[in-house]
Structure 1
Amino acid sequence: MPAAALGTAEWYRHFGTVDAPGSSPCYADWSLHIAEDPGLIARIDRWPYNKRQPLLMLAAARFLGAGVSPYPEFRAFLDEHWAEISRTVMSRATQTNEVGRCATLLPSLAAIAAAEGRPLALIEVGASAGLALFPDRYSYEFDDGATVTRLGPGTSGLPSARSGLPPAGSGLPPAGSGHRPEPPVLRCRTAGPVPLPDSLPSVVWRAGIDLNPLDVRNPDDVAWLEALIWPEQEFRRDRLRRAIAVARHDPPLLVAGDLNEQLLSLAGQAPPDAALVVFHSAVMGYVSAGGRSRFRASMQSLARDRGCHWLSNEGETVIIQEDGSVVVPEMDPARLRGNFLLLHNGQPVAITGPHGQSLDWL
């Protein structure tokens, strides 16, 4: 989320020029037209500031049936369904449960498990439906341009010569069946000395916190998760559905509430003989500066009292220190534009693609 000083038109213009072009030509086009549409901007400005974000409004329209179309058709859809769109915006949030981010977190999670010599206990703050809590249940393909390293449940990470990658497959078992569903394949481009593991780490406990947790067994919640996928990204929709099938097979513990109110008590439920990791992706932009400071204090307390590890995967503009500075390594700012910065216990370790599509180790 851009800084609060950003006006609504500028927000949509930023989304249309920086965030969307590489992923969704449709959203880029719509957002740029909205930025130049004073009448529509005036309507959006009637919502609370945090409800004006482009992805939330666009997802609400998609949730209600807006198809990929030229802007004039989309604008007509907005006019016809504005009351429903407003209700959806006010009742929903951008809880994009991007399972692809597990690929950028996996090397750090595996390194923590190896260093600790213990299995992991995971807590995700801003967990949505908890799909990122299953890094040990998904399959991965890490591509450095020369070789592809494949990892999955019960397999070793053996590199092979790069070749055309096969499709993820098809045919999911029905929800509630006794068969473990086929996992999504999370593909990630890598650069630098990424510490790829030989196998997936063991996870013995997993839990999440969200203001409004989504239930993978609820068709409405599943439809909302799908609406948050950008229109052209059918591969993300496919892996979302596969991740939902995995989560339905063994739903995680999800706690409703503010992260600062729930974190310490939830951490107290984690098995004491497991290595505790608290992680989050694209969450801190929705937390006030005071809330971030309080969260940081909680993480310092957990590190001191529990030996907890902290993985933060966020846009660089919200990685704020107590002195007001931003934690970014010295580098060309263009490397971070439109990307996330992954930190382990406050130290930058990698630049990551926001949907888990790339991992550039520092």
Structure 2
Amino acid sequence: MFRAARGFDSSPLYRHLLAVVADEPALVELAERTRPGQQPTFALFGAVHQLLLGGVTDPLAAYYPSVVGARARPVDADTGRAFTRFCLAHADRIAAILATRLVQTNHVQRSLVTRLGLALLRSATAAPVCVVEVGCSAGLNLRADRYAFSVGDSTVGDYASGGRWSPRGGSRVHIRVDVPDGRLLPDLDRLPVVADVVGVDLDPPDLTDPEDRAWLRALVWPENAHQAALLAEAMRVVADDPPRVLRGDVADIGAEVAASLPAGLPRLVVHTATRIHVPVDRRPAFAAAVAAFAADGPMLHLALEDDHRIAPSGRAGIGLTATDAAGSRRIAVADGHLAWLEPLPELGTPIVLGAPK
């Protein structure tokens, strides 16, 4: 699992540690304490990071820019030994974190998927819409209408007057996404009225709880200071006005959630990097529960889950799939953390609302 792991391009430290763990049976055994369905790579690295950010003093901290800043040591011959010593010395504390925590959505850049879905729905209907996010964590991405976005050469969303984003005049959360060619994108400033917003998560973090906030912070990779800053700002924004988030497995409570939405209204259902954390034997039930949201209203379903796809530029990323009444199609390829997004021609296909095929 560690040797074959992908997607750690923005963390040289974690890329190095993948091989370290894979070659050390004691570390593999420790990582296997992760809860069923969760990815041991993210969970183990997050648990270690949480301890270091929480003040545990150890030579390993010298390799973490998130802990020591610009003084961080580059990966060297001692990195693996330091990580192994730390994990074995704190195995009980790490195991306790792995037994109680889930890998949670923490990349606010992915809220662009929600905003894109809203814009696509507005191009198809003037009706108010309902927004559902499956695997929503603390609901940060459900507040996509509260953030500013620089998408390619354009700035959209909650920015200051005059079209220029300013921390004094617009949202405290400013998300930048590299989009080489935005001509296929819909108007991201033309959104529908949102009638209802709800998220579903197995164990939604409480943004008023310092330990929950610390766990979300620990899941941001050590080198990704910009993502950490975005997360901190988004947590403040959402804590001031949290969306409705329900605890449970969508396969178990999906019908209840769907019934709580205004009947007949279009609904946007989104999940990003969620299915990877669903146990394989539960994935058919997960898919069925998501599809069932179309029972009481026309649905657009966006999923950033289609792994190992190549963008038109040649970059390796994740496919963004749209499903409506006409079927499913891949509309973009994106970086897993939404640092970049490359639209595909299928993004220009009109959304079809109605009974799904």
Match of 1:106 among 103, 109, 115: 115
2:262 pairs with 1:275: no
2:218 pairs with 1:209: no
Q: After TM superposition, where is structure 1 displaced by more than 6 Å over at least 4 residues in a row?
A: 154-158, 331-334
2:7 pairs with 1:19: yes
Match of 1:115?
Answer: 124
User: Contact 1:277/1:308 (CA < 8 Å) preserved in 2?
Assistant: yes
Match of 2:212?
Answer: 221
- C-alpha separation in 1, matches of 2:179 and 2:101: 34
Match of 2:187?
Answer: 197
2:50 pairs with 1:39: no
User: Contact 1:130/1:208 (CA < 8 Å) preserved in 2?
Assistant: yes
Deviations 1:322-343 (A, max 9, x none): xxxxxx8xx7899584424333
TM-score, normalised on structure 2?
0.79
The offset of 1:288, in angstroms, is 4.0
The offset of 1:36, in angstroms, is 2.0
Deviations 1:170-190 (A, max 9, x none): 9xxxxxxxxx99431111111
- C-alpha separation in 2, matches of 1:235 and 1:200: 28
Q: Number of residue pairs matched?
A: 317
Letter paired with 2:7:
D
Deviations 1:212-269 (A, max 9, x none): 1111111110000000000010000010011111111111111111111112211222
User: Contact 1:342/1:352 (CA < 8 Å) preserved in 2?
Assistant: no
Compared with structure 1, are the counterparts of its residues 241 and 267 closer, same or farther at alpha carbon in structure 2 (3 Å cutoff)? same
The offset of 1:49, in angstroms, is 5.8
Letter paired with 2:61:
G
SS where residue 95 of structure 2 aligns? helix
- C-alpha separation in 2, matches of 1:30 and 1:225: 20
SS where residue 12 of structure 1 aligns? coil
2:297 pairs with 1:309: no
SS where residue 270 of structure 2 aligns? strand
- C-alpha separation in 2, matches of 1:282 and 1:227: 17
Compared with structure 1, are the counterparts of its residues 239 and 47 closer, same or farther at alpha carbon in structure 2 (3 Å cutoff)? closer
Identity level (%): 26
Letter paired with 2:278:
V
The offset of 1:273, in angstroms, is 6.8
Match of 2:331 among 349, 354, 359: 349
SS where residue 342 of structure 1 aligns? strand
What 5-or-longer segments of structure 2 have no aligned partner?
A: 53-59, 64-78, 345-357
Letter paired with 1:344:
T
SS where residue 19 of structure 1 aligns? coil
The offset of 1:274, in angstroms, is 4.5
SS where residue 341 of structure 1 aligns? strand
Deviations 1:269-311 (A, max 9, x none): 2234743111101111222455332343344443243112211
The offset of 1:194, in angstroms, is 3.0
